[in-house]
Structure 1
């Protein structure tokens, strides 16, 4: 019988109440942008918890967007981006003439979001707005700015609230980090 590995000490960065409050504030900011024919596209997998909570917050402020999912990858099973973005699962909805809210968990290098934003614009979206839960502004490798940002993030490798490390910790109700695994 193999021994269970000890669980790393995950430190809380943003607790569930703080996240919920910020999601409702983001919904107010998004509604103030007056989106038309809004299509929300969540970038999977890391944004799925954030996207679900934000969509419910958008409902609370009177928006009823259509929802789609886009699976992109620049990581595969690594912790560092390869720099090459691949579409693993595309959206099924025609984006032409629509306002698109692209939701992702974290804006770091910007490669994935810039790729997705350019892809949707090339397909005829009227406007592509970017909403991220976390932003690491010191890690930008390409020119992209998020229209809506949940939190500025220190240079930690974050987990929880849908984000993982090697498929672990997505289920945590908070955003945390593992001190010995912080980003270099």
Structure 2
């Protein structure tokens, strides 16, 4: 996916969110970035949002494609989210296991609404019972790198998304 396709995807998700959250005149939405993967997408996305936001972060280290991730969720709740509109932002939903855990964790704080915004989603992901805003639905489960997506903690900083091809495979 080229750098221009990535930026078009950012614009698509921003337009969807702007249409949904424009009504929040008295209260801003809370954007919670999944770090480190969602940092690049969040930075580009929030600059295109036309409604007020507050920003926080959450972390849950995982291996891409791991549906059984049990690593610790780190969330300090720097901004109270009880009875607030919350948008959880990450680069992608791959297997969906980690995202489902994050959603369940945030729901314990009783937000008014909870939605997910990602650049793309992969097929065969687990069911996550909240509204999802995304630009691209991938046709396969290829391992991708770039624009926040790593391989062995590298290549997150690429401005495009590429399929990882392992030597000897």
TM over 0.5: yes
Q: 1:107 to 1:149 in 2, by over 3 A?
A: same
Q: Could you tell me the TM-score, scaled by structure 1's length? A: 0.79
Separation in 2 of the partners of 1:165 and 1:91? Answer: 29
Answering whether residue 140 of structure 2 is matched by residue 129 of structure 1, we say: no
Moved more, 37-46 or 84-93: 84-93
Change (3 A) 1:117 1:67: same
Give the secondary structure class of the aligned counterpart of 1:19.
helix
How far apart are the structure 1 equivalents of 2:147 and 2:48? 16
In 1, Cα distance between the equivalents of 2:61 and 2:157? 20
Task: Spell out the pairing of 1:53-64 with structure 2 (5 A cutoff).
Answer: 53-58=44-49, 62-64=50-52
Q: Which residue of 2 aligns with 1:39?
A: 30
CA contact (8 A) 1:74 1:86 kept: no
- Hey, what does 2:146 align to over in structure 1? 160
Counterpart of 2:58? 70
Partner of residue 136, structure 2: 151
Report the Cα offset of residue 180 of structure 1: 2.7
- Secondary structure at the aligned position of 2:120 is classed as strand
Aligned match of 1:8: none
Of the candidates 91, 96, 103, which is equivalent to residue 117 of structure 1? 103
Map of 2:43 onto structure 1: 52
Alignment counterpart, residue 170 of structure 1, candidates 153, 156, 161: 156
Q: Is the 8 A contact 2:65 2:95 kept in 1?
A: no
Q: TM-score, normalised by structure 2?
A: 0.86
Measured after TM superposition, the shift of residue 179 of structure 1 is 2.2
Corresponding residue pairs, total: 161
Q: Gaps (5+ residues) in structure 2?
A: none
Computing the radius of gyration from Cα coordinates, the structure with the larger value is: 1
**In 1, Cα distance between equivalents of 2:89 and 2:73:** 16
CA distance in 1, matches of 2:82, 2:164: 42
Residues 32-77 of structure 1 show CA distances to partners (whole Å, capped at 9, x for unaligned) of: 112632000010111110111011111xxx22311111111233xx
Change (3 A) 1:85 1:33: farther
